[in-house]
Structure 1
Amino acid sequence: MKSLAVLAAAAAPLASALSLSVASTGGNATITTNQYGLLFEEIYNSGDGGLYGELIRNRAFQGGNINGVATLDRTTDYWTAVNGVTLAIDTSTPAVSTSLPYQMRMDVPTDTTDAVGFYNEGFWGFNIDSTKRYITSFYLRGTYHGVVNCYFQDALTGDQLSTVSLEVSQTAGQGWVQHMSATFMPTTTLAYPNVTFYFMFEDGASLAGESLYFNMLSVFKQTYDNRNNGLREDMATALAELGAKWIRLPGGSNMEGPYPPYYWKWNATIGSLLNRPGRPGVWGDINTDGFGILEQLQMTIDLGLEVVLAVWDGLYINDSIISEADIDPYVDQALNLLEFLLGDTSTTYGALRKSLGYSNPFTISYVEIGNEDNISNGESSYKAYRYMAFYTAIRALYPDLPLVSTINPAPSGLTGIDGTIDLHIYENEATFVNLFNTFDQASRKYPVFVGEYAAIRTGSHTSGQVGVQTFGMACAEAIFLLGCERNADVIIGTAYGALFKEYNEEPGTVAVMKHTANEILYSMSYYVQQLFGANVGTQTLPVTATGAGFGPVYWSAVLNADGQTVLKMVNYAGTTNPVTVTIEGSTATSATLYVMSAPSSASVNNLSGLGGTTSNITTSTLTGTAGTFSVPFTSGYQIVVLVV
């Protein structure tokens, strides 16, 4: 777990209004390893400008953002001319590829004598670390013989922070030529991201009156596990430290696409970056698709995550729906994706996967047909033909691959593993507390992924959202997770929505983590999931309560893989009375106690300059007698995990 302070403590037995007796056997469920998972979708620069390691913004002129809406209008946004040149979008031929037909043209004045060029703003700046390697590259069309100096510059002081020089010698007749630097390291580390990145042509006089053309301009910082075209290192490390077991990808509403024909097409996200056209995203930005399906699957391997793969099923966010008469090609596309990921190399798409560097098939644990088909006017067509069109075709070729429905119950009376459903729950804090026992009454015919959940409002408020979770909201989510754990016979796993959002892009809604160019905000919810994920069980255990029932203290008990009893408790607006806990059949005199706390229920975690992290998780040794312990609560809002 991240940042656990190890303490030594001993609590003397005290009288308690609530006593819990935890049995050693007799629980209602064997728990899967998938209890805590992740959702990745491209939302508010969670991929481009976030988890995906590319640092240049608008690197290939694939589109932009106008008033919060993704647009295919091509601009030179985030690029600034230096020393009198003019920058413009250009469509002259030849293009660098058929997928990237727009490029940036630099027109140089006829009286130029100095170095000329331009700089990029990045995604709200750049993270400069003198201990890390960087690399830059670009495609150039035109005539230039000379040096191109590429470097970071402090936008506040004007100081040049790095230097790397590329010797360029090419003519216009050569067409597009890629130029790539050696790796370089900045001269200093900055605590702030107010930095730009320059491409400067030193022999400006030779370019006087001429034009040069640019595409796919790139800067990568050292990536997680040093992967080519890989992940931002600190963000991937944060995922690894979260301790989740599975991930649903590629999303999410963004997979559906904002309007025809811009749904997520897997085969437009593979191979050379020059062959990835990108598309308008649902959440306001262009997707470059640099973080494509293979990059996402490589991430799951590097992080040890099982995969819940979503396939597009004919529904767009704007309510457009593929008709029954036209659905077959989209079913075929889903089958092609599965062959690409699962097929041996003798198959058409298995061979394609091998040609891209992956000889061995991937492992897919579940396939989800669509996303949120209960909204966007999608439910009737999902029930009538869309779900079964995909289900029947996939099941015929992959009889053992579990399939997931996005509506409840699954269409056409499917039950058991074939009736698995994905529920998404976004509610206020009070509702999450009340959801504690919601699955006690759930039908056991339909296994459930809670594929997205989040407390998005404090208290019982019914409108608006908060920008960052309070500790009270995180406690409410923890109570809901206890209810899921108690019903592990029907709940396969849970995942918070969303995983990442860029702090500047979307400060007003929640995420597990918010990121800037150089910092990560770990929410209260992050630490709840980390604490619970580090204390998963293999079997639920019955708990008998005396003196009080559920509320204000809520609980769940499991047996872990080491044979230890794990009792999780949440005190929600309660007293500080201790709880007497007896582990039946145990003679233990010591236990490990994890306590998550915060100054108040209204406390939030924030960026370091805005208050920083206020939550705290401590680890202590609790003494007891013959398997009986007095578990202290020191505030009205607290999350406790006792391991005996």
Structure 2
Amino acid sequence: MYIREWLFGVLFFPSVMGCQNMSQITEEVVVNLRQKGADISSSMYGVFFEEINHAGDGGLYAELVQNRSFEEDEIPEGYRIEGTKLIPLAKPYHLTGEIRERSFEWYGGKIRGWNLKTGDLSEASMRLTKERPMYPTAPNNLELFIQKTTGAVQLVNEGYWGMGIRQNERYHLRTIVRVDPGYKGTLTAKLLSEKGDILARALLPCIPDGEWHDMTLVLTSVATDCKSSLAIEFDAPGKVWLDYVSLFPENTFKKRQNGLRKDVAEMVAGLQPAFFRWPGGCVVEGITLNNRFEWKKTLGDPAARPGEYSTWGYRCSYGFGYYEMLQFCEDIGAKAMYVCNVGLSCQFRMGEASEKSDISYYIDDCLDAIEYALGDTLTEWGARRAADGHPAPFPLQYIEIGNENWGDEYDRRFDMFYQAIKQKYPQLTLIYNEMPERNGPMGITKTDMVDPHYYVAPEFFFRNTDLFDHYERGKHTVYVGEYSCNRGVGGGNMWAALSEAAFIGGMERNGDLVKMASYAPLLENRNNRKWPTNLIWFDSEQVVGRGSYYVQKMAVENRPTYNVANDKVLRATDTASYVSGHIGFGSWATAVEFKDFKWVSKGHRVDVPLGETTRNYGSWSYTDGVLSQTSLETGTQYILKGFKDNDYTLECKARRVSGKEGFLIYFGMTANGQDGYMYNIGGWDNQKAVLQQVANSNRAKVLAECQDVRVETGRWYDLKLVVSPRKSELYVDGNLVLSHVPEPVPLQFVDSGYDEHAGELVLKVVNATDSVYPVSFRIDGARRVAPEGKVITLAAGSGAEENSFENPRKIYPVTSGYGDFGRDFTYTFRPFSYTVLRIKAERDVSGLNNEQ
């Protein structure tokens, strides 16, 4: 998962969504049960987990103490702090050799998570030390020096924005303490309410011998308070060292030790995930390789786990580790997916590559992870699993090789990983990162699945429900590993949910190709939103599912066995136009030059400053009227700052200096270069010209193309782009090569499938307009259709509505009976709704000799 700069407006959408007079004429849809389509895989719906938004620490993981091992102020090796910024180790980006300038959020000031409170006349101080650590793998400990006391001195931890303590619940406290012989007082553990009232208290054994002691006790709260804190109290002068302070509710999910927060885990389990992807996301790769997630360090005693800065502005404790993930998969009946590092750090950050001689280390590390999950107890890592408490194998089925990697080096490494893993574990499904876009043949020998990602505006999902209709079949299947509508939808409103429902319908319809999908990100602590939209929200007291959560849940609970045909035609009643956007230039694995620029806007010549950009990716320079890009990177961009329009003509000359393709001209672009359109002259290995929609920096859909358009090295070409609100045209050397008329966005969708187990026709209908949507259905190919059935409706008063902590079920599915189904029936769907109709219907399969 990657993040750059977020767009808070959506292409075309304001005019489409603002339409108040959508036609209410009854549409006729014929569903034919005899025309069986693709099966829908039982593995279709799973979940993606990454330590982001405090999804694990302070979320799914039940630990209540923040910075329990005092490791959170430890910076990655070679990094440095400048104010509130973490500056990474300088490493060359492996695709270009450049040293990228990057900085990341850093907590500054006091020891994270801990406060020292003294009485008016008491004096005490604290500091971090690595002296005499209990565990060398987690060396930091906290030294308390109490100079004098006239009252108690308290070391207080408020957890993650308050501890959610509940009345009569038992909490297990574990402390690793070393007490100097000169300390003659007591140690008291207290749970305190937000107002300071004592909810529970107990004396800790105090052994003043200067040695580490690992102690546990149980605290039972007398009241409920979601903003509670834990205090360790000292009442005498002297020195005390703390190596580890942990507080867990006894009532974790499935009562597991070092377990998961029950309500959050139940919310995840409510999605009935067929698989669970872990550990990410960008944390897999790290900012640099010495900052990557390391699964072996997540095993064993939580007090000995070092944790790691997670790339999202805080340290991951490694508490929700590999063992805990595999155990959770077993508990909820999900297959595990492990994402391994291929010796590349995050390519959206520093993009470091390991030495080629070190690749075998990363392959062995992945094989060890597989052996830990699946190996016999006579193997090294199978024996370690048994020693950790689980002799039987875990349900590991999928290995994703790398995370959001691309380029020739990734492809080479993928082949090495694929061969090594398949040779030893042929039963596993191996997954290739289809990043950053689908642009011609992949440079790998073979893969089982590919993983494209889609973070987009609602318009993209509504417009691209047919995206997978055009994918190549036969070489591999598809896992849509990360997708969500997260642009211009607030924290995640009904428009977002409905667009995802429409896109899900397209994935199900292509079930022969798309076998798996997972929304991302999964979890968000409301106090730490690092990503604009997330599926499940929580704080110390509450868990809230967004409208998108309930779309996912409805899709899972109403997954047909296979598709059946319907004749719904996608159309919209409104018109569409290009929005006013930025223009830009680019290249793909090619060094290029542009010159002799001329702009005419609304009939008037305009001057555009060529040296000012809103997005500059590649190696660009503008000298003596020539704009040059000298690198062989893919997807370079030079988005101009001083021109934004949707009615103009651009003329210029362009030539290829070196490389294998041609030129890119962007128009209608957002300032960050992530959304808009791109004319590609000499694309697809210099075979053709295409117009592509750009969404979330992905060239996701070809809107027009012309074959046999090639670019010669060294030759200057005359290019002319003519843009109006209703049309765009591209001319090369005076010849019209491509043109495009923007189409309106369809907002009403009908998907149909059959549930063999229940003997039911399943209709899934999206109505993303502000008017009711009456549909007259005719069911063909049925022996019998029962009048009684079930309707599940998720609806909102407007597309902008969201769930909230104050109103968590504002958008919530309602199930009701319905008694007027039949071979012919009419149903009127509510505005802004996702509706599932379940109809008892016996398929007529007489005469069908060759069902798919």
Normalised TM-score (structure 2): 0.68
SS at match of 2:200: coil
Alignment of 1:417-456 (within 5 A): 418-444=447-473, 445-456=475-486
Given the alignment, which residue of 329, 342, 345 partners 2:374? 342
Answering whether residue 385 of structure 2 is matched by residue 353 of structure 1, we say: yes
Given the alignment, which residue of 441, 454, 457 partners 2:487? 457
Given the alignment, which residue of 235, 241, 245 partners 1:213? 241
Whole-angstrom distance in 2 between the partners of 1:467 and 1:81: 38
SS at match of 1:495: strand
Given the alignment, which residue of 135, 159, 165 partners 1:122? 159
SS at match of 1:48: coil
SS at match of 2:553: helix
The alpha-carbon distance between structure 1 residues 508 and 352, as it changes in their structure 2 partners (threshold 3 A), is closer
Answering whether residue 360 of structure 2 is matched by residue 328 of structure 1, we say: yes
Any conservation in 2 of the 1:405–1:421 contact (CA below 8 Å)? yes
| Letter in structure 2 aligned against 1:289 | Y
Structure 1 counterpart of 2:793: 595
Given the alignment, which residue of 749, 759, 768 partners 1:563? 759
Whole-angstrom distance in 2 between the partners of 1:225 and 1:30: 34
Shift of 1:487: 0.6
The alpha-carbon distance between structure 1 residues 595 and 72, as it changes in their structure 2 partners (threshold 3 A), is closer
Any conservation in 1 of the 2:340–2:402 contact (CA below 8 Å)? yes
The alpha-carbon distance between structure 1 residues 541 and 220, as it changes in their structure 2 partners (threshold 3 A), is same
Shift of 1:547: 11
C-alpha deviations, 1:471-509, integer Å up to 9, x for none? 011101111111111111100121111000211111761
The structure richer in strand per residue is 2
The alpha-carbon distance between structure 1 residues 633 and 277, as it changes in their structure 2 partners (threshold 3 A), is same
Shift of 1:195: 2.2
Any conservation in 2 of the 1:87–1:107 contact (CA below 8 Å)? yes
Answering whether residue 185 of structure 2 is matched by residue 149 of structure 1, we say: no
Whole-angstrom distance in 2 between the partners of 1:503 and 1:625: 43
Alignment of 1:32-181 (within 5 A): 32-64=41-73, 66=84, 69=104, 76-83=111-118, 84-109=122-147, 111-143=148-180, 147-155=186-194, 157-172=195-210, 175-181=211-217
Any conservation in 1 of the 2:53–2:530 contact (CA below 8 Å)? no
Whole-angstrom distance in 2 between the partners of 1:507 and 1:368: 24
Whole-angstrom distance in 1 between the partners of 2:297 and 2:497: 38
Shift of 1:171: 1.1
| Letter in structure 1 aligned against 2:233 | M
Structure 2 counterpart of 1:314: 343
Structure 2 counterpart of 1:614: 810
Deviates more, 1:120-129 or 1:513-522: 513-522
Whole-angstrom distance in 1 between the partners of 2:186 and 2:265: 35
Any conservation in 1 of the 2:494–2:796 contact (CA below 8 Å)? yes
| Letter in structure 1 aligned against 2:503 | F
Whole-angstrom distance in 1 between the partners of 2:760 and 2:567: 18
SS at match of 1:19: strand
Bigger Cα Rg: 2
The alpha-carbon distance between structure 1 residues 625 and 303, as it changes in their structure 2 partners (threshold 3 A), is closer
Any conservation in 1 of the 2:767–2:830 contact (CA below 8 Å)? no
Shift of 1:85: 4.6
Shift of 1:38: 0.4
Shift of 1:167: 3.1
| Letter in structure 2 aligned against 1:88 | M
Shift of 1:169: 2.7
Structure 1 counterpart of 2:232: 199
Given the alignment, which residue of 533, 538, 543 partners 2:556? 533
Shift of 1:559: 1.3
RMSD: 2.3
Shift of 1:16: 5.7
The alpha-carbon distance between structure 1 residues 601 and 439, as it changes in their structure 2 partners (threshold 3 A), is same
Any conservation in 2 of the 1:44–1:284 contact (CA below 8 Å)? no
Structure 1 counterpart of 2:428: 401
Answering whether residue 566 of structure 2 is matched by residue 543 of structure 1, we say: yes
Any conservation in 2 of the 1:244–1:305 contact (CA below 8 Å)? yes
The structure richer in helix per residue is 1
The alpha-carbon distance between structure 1 residues 545 and 262, as it changes in their structure 2 partners (threshold 3 A), is closer
Shift of 1:310: 1.0
Give aligned-pair identity as a percent. Answer: 28
The alpha-carbon distance between structure 1 residues 336 and 546, as it changes in their structure 2 partners (threshold 3 A), is closer
| Letter in structure 2 aligned against 1:509 | P
Answering whether residue 773 of structure 2 is matched by residue 582 of structure 1, we say: no
Structure 1 counterpart of 2:223: 188
Shift of 1:71: 5.7
Task: Give the aligned length.
Answer: 601
The alpha-carbon distance between structure 1 residues 75 and 391, as it changes in their structure 2 partners (threshold 3 A), is farther
The alpha-carbon distance between structure 1 residues 548 and 284, as it changes in their structure 2 partners (threshold 3 A), is closer
C-alpha deviations, 1:163-192, integer Å up to 9, x for none? 2332323411xx21111112x3211123xx
The alpha-carbon distance between structure 1 residues 167 and 324, as it changes in their structure 2 partners (threshold 3 A), is closer
Whole-angstrom distance in 2 between the partners of 1:511 and 1:52: 17
| Letter in structure 2 aligned against 1:538 | T
Whole-angstrom distance in 1 between the partners of 2:372 and 2:773: 57
SS at match of 1:168: coil
Deviates more, 1:587-596 or 1:447-456: 587-596
Whole-angstrom distance in 1 between the partners of 2:568 and 2:461: 22
In the TM superposition, structure 1's runs of 4+ consecutive aligned residues that sit over 6 Å from their partners are 546-550
Answering whether residue 539 of structure 2 is matched by residue 519 of structure 1, we say: no
| Letter in structure 2 aligned against 1:510 | T
Whole-angstrom distance in 1 between the partners of 2:471 and 2:144: 63
Any conservation in 2 of the 1:468–1:605 contact (CA below 8 Å)? no
Whole-angstrom distance in 2 between the partners of 1:564 and 1:474: 25
Structure 1 counterpart of 2:413: 386
Any conservation in 1 of the 2:113–2:158 contact (CA below 8 Å)? yes
Answering whether residue 511 of structure 2 is matched by residue 488 of structure 1, we say: yes
Q: Where does structure 1 lack aligned partners over 5 or more consecutive residues? A: 1-14, 459-465
Shift of 1:424: 0.8
SS at match of 1:626: coil
Any conservation in 2 of the 1:422–1:448 contact (CA below 8 Å)? yes
Whole-angstrom distance in 2 between the partners of 1:362 and 1:136: 29
Shift of 1:118: 1.0
The alpha-carbon distance between structure 1 residues 18 and 128, as it changes in their structure 2 partners (threshold 3 A), is same
Shift of 1:344: 0.4
C-alpha deviations, 1:518-550, integer Å up to 9, x for none? 112211111110111110111111112489799
Whole-angstrom distance in 1 between the partners of 2:366 and 2:812: 45
Whole-angstrom distance in 1 between the partners of 2:293 and 2:530: 26
| Letter in structure 2 aligned against 1:491 | V
The alpha-carbon distance between structure 1 residues 363 and 54, as it changes in their structure 2 partners (threshold 3 A), is same
SS at match of 1:127: strand
